[in-house]
Amino acid sequence: MSGTSTEYLLLLTAVTAGVTFLLRAMPFLFFGAGKRPPALVLSIGNVLSPAAIAMLVVYCFACYVQDRAPAEHMFGLAEIAAAAVVVALQIWKRNPLLSILAGTAAYMALVQNFIS
């Protein structure tokens, strides 16, 4: 099934919306007033998020490495430079939109004009 076929897109929409809704509904389904979830569930729920986001950052970079030969993209110079822009701006200004736009613009400028 191609990713842009109507069947795939409908399935994708239903699955992502369904899973997201179930996650949101979980406390209301399982824990009435006064009943708390088990300690292990609470603790994993609290710590999984930073681990998962770190994994997704690694995944994004692994995809860049996989898509092109190292020499062709100057050993990830554009990715590293753009990522540095994002992180530095976010630490400094704490404005997600600014960090994302500036980092993406920097990356686009680099890959369209200077690298590959």
Q: Which of residues 54-83 bind other proteins (CB under 8 A)?
A: 54-63, 65-66, 78-79, 82-83
Do the beta carbons of residue 22 and residue 14 sit within 8 Å?
A: no
Rounded to an integer, what distance in angstroms lies between the CA atom of residue 69 and that of residue 103? 23
Q: What angle do CA 14, 41, 18 make, to 5 degrees?
A: 5
- Cβ neighbors of 86 (< 8 A, separation 6 or more) are 99, 100, 102, 103
Site for other proteins in 95-114 (CB under 8 A): 96-97, 99-101, 103-104, 107-108, 110-112
Site for other proteins in 4-33 (CB under 8 A): 4, 8-9, 11-17, 19-21, 23-28, 31-33
**CB 71, min distance to other proteins, A:** 18
- Cβ neighbors of 61 (< 8 A, separation 6 or more) are 76, 79
**CB 19, min distance to other proteins, A:** 4
Number of residues that bind other proteins (CB under 8 A): 73
Binding mask 28-47 for other proteins (x = CB under 8 A): x--xxx--xx--x-xxxxxx
